[in-house]
Structure 1
Amino acid sequence: MPRIDSEAFYKNAIKKHGITPAGVCWLSYAHQQIRFETICELLPDNLETFTLTDAGCGFGDFYLYLQNAANKPKQYIGIDSIDAMCTIAKQRTSQDIFSQDITNSELPVSDYVICSGAMNVLTPFETIQFMQNCFKASKKAFIFNILYGENNSATYNYLTQESLQKIASELSVADMRLREGYLDGDITVGFFK
């Protein structure tokens, strides 16, 4: 069970902010773009020969970011548990978008699986399930950002470097790469095979 009712949480954000970064609970467009840039630092410079799954795709903003950067993957698949977001993402991207609970589902296999922010409202147990499923579905790496630090928020999920290393060890990650310092309280992690 999530810390909060995710569907109500995101539906309220969409109602209040519309199809904007705030509508998927990002602080701002600039912060969303910084997170996308940081994820891309861990992806190949040219994605045209690779498949990519966006776990927790929201409105499809990461795909649009890649499209604007002229770096679309060979195939993009978006997955989100909120049906309204899936509908919007499909309209905005014209890509394969699926409604699915990533914490307890087998995901389509892709070269890379990315996640930007979707684990921020999960419980620690759900976060591990989410990471396991995404890492299992990746041929090369699972790359994600998550809130970072020692914070016992009732709403948001924060991880420490120690907890990330423990999860990586349990998943038999061959190479864990970290990017931090780009935004306060945020970290981007690559679990490479």
Structure 2
Amino acid sequence: MKKTLKCGVSIEGMDSSISVQRGDFYNEVNLRVCSKTAHLLNGEQLMPARNGSVLTDVAAYYETRIKEHGQTPAGVDWNSSHGQIIRFDQLLKLVDSSRIYSITDIGCGYGALADHVLHLGHDVHYIGVDVSQSMIAAGRSRHPLNDRVNFQIGTSPNDATDYAVASGIFNVRLDRSDDEWLTHMVSTLDVMNKIATRGFAFNCLTSYSDEERMRPDLYYANPLDLFDLCKRRFSPQVALHHDYGLYEFTIIVRKS
């Protein structure tokens, strides 16, 4: 099935019911987001992202969070451990856990995903990457003797891995414009695509969120636009999950 949405984005292989929006607010928000993403879908350039400056601001923000809340979900800006586990399980739909695999966790925080995959009993080589030195130090302190769990400061790992995931790193845009943050997002997705040999997955806050819950310092992405972008830019094998009870979605990109 091919469904053309109001923003002009065509989505293949999806139920048309996903295009239903509740009221004028959703139409307004999603059309606005679509107009931003359309530049990328059409191959045009958005405002150049001051990537170094963006990452400096993001690192400073999360340094403050972990100092205030420690190695907890709140320390990486999540409301609860329950929600954190739900997000991890959505992202891990990407991997084949029946065999050994390697995975890079972009924006790994204090390494909660490493804890989770080890708890699940996965045979995994884990690399956590973060721009916050405090987060990397926390991750290393949690796994000091495990040579299959490694933490690196920066934006990408030293070596490629089977998979790459990113949880929550596209949410807090601080004072960045839509154009600048979207450019930063796509640049990060390009890195994930480059380092992951078998596929990657990420989550975002959804533009279908209730108006009264939306904050100006957070970025609410249009899931349909990002699905289409990933189909066009990265792989024909893309899945969109928007059905797990949170105001967000997860996109999984698999490679042949």
In the superposition, the TM-score normalised over structure 2's length comes to: 0.67
User: Who wins on radius of gyration, i.e. which is larger?
Assistant: 2
Measured in 2, the distance between the counterparts of 1:31 and 1:126 equals 25
State whether structure 2 residue 196 is matched by structure 1 residue 138.
yes
Measured in 1, the distance between the counterparts of 2:158 and 2:190 equals 11
- Aligned match of 1:175: 237
Deviation at 1:70, TM superposition (A): 0.8
Q: Please give the secondary structure, in 1, of the residue aligned with 2:184.
A: helix
**Does the 8 Å contact 1:3/1:121 carry over to 2?**
no
- Aligned match of 2:154: 100
Deviation at 1:3, TM superposition (A): 9.4
Percent identical residues: 26
Larger deviation, residues 127-136 vs 106-115? 106-115
Q: 1:178 to 1:107 in 2, by over 3 A?
A: farther
Deviations 1:131-173 (A, max 9, x none): 0100111111111111122578432222112321342144231
**One-letter amino acid matched to 2:151:** I
- Aligned match of 1:10: 62
Measured in 1, the distance between the counterparts of 2:153 and 2:56 equals 19
Q: 1:107 to 1:115 in 2, by over 3 A?
A: farther
Deviations 1:31-85 (A, max 9, x none): 1011111112232133x52111111110010010011111141x21110010110
Q: Please give the secondary structure, in 2, of the residue aligned with 1:45.
A: coil
State whether structure 2 residue 126 is matched by structure 1 residue 76.
yes
Q: 1:2 to 1:158 in 2, by over 3 A?
A: farther
In the superposition, the TM-score normalised over structure 1's length comes to: 0.88
State whether structure 2 residue 138 is matched by structure 1 residue 88.
yes
1:54 maps to which of 95, 105, 121? 105
- Aligned match of 1:165: 227
**One-letter amino acid matched to 1:134:** M
* Structure 2, gaps ≥5 residues long: 1-52, 174-180
Larger deviation, residues 107-116 vs 134-143? 107-116
Q: 1:179 to 1:166 in 2, by over 3 A?
A: closer
Q: 1:30 to 1:85 in 2, by over 3 A?
A: same
Measured in 1, the distance between the counterparts of 2:184 and 2:161 equals 21
Larger deviation, residues 3-12 vs 169-178? 3-12
Deviations 1:57-114 (A, max 9, x none): 10010010011111141x2111001011011111212422111135xxx763111111
**One-letter amino acid matched to 1:66:** V
Q: 1:163 to 1:93 in 2, by over 3 A?
A: farther
State whether structure 2 residue 80 is matched by structure 1 residue 28.
yes
Q: Looking at secondary structure, tell me which structure has more helix per residue.
A: 2
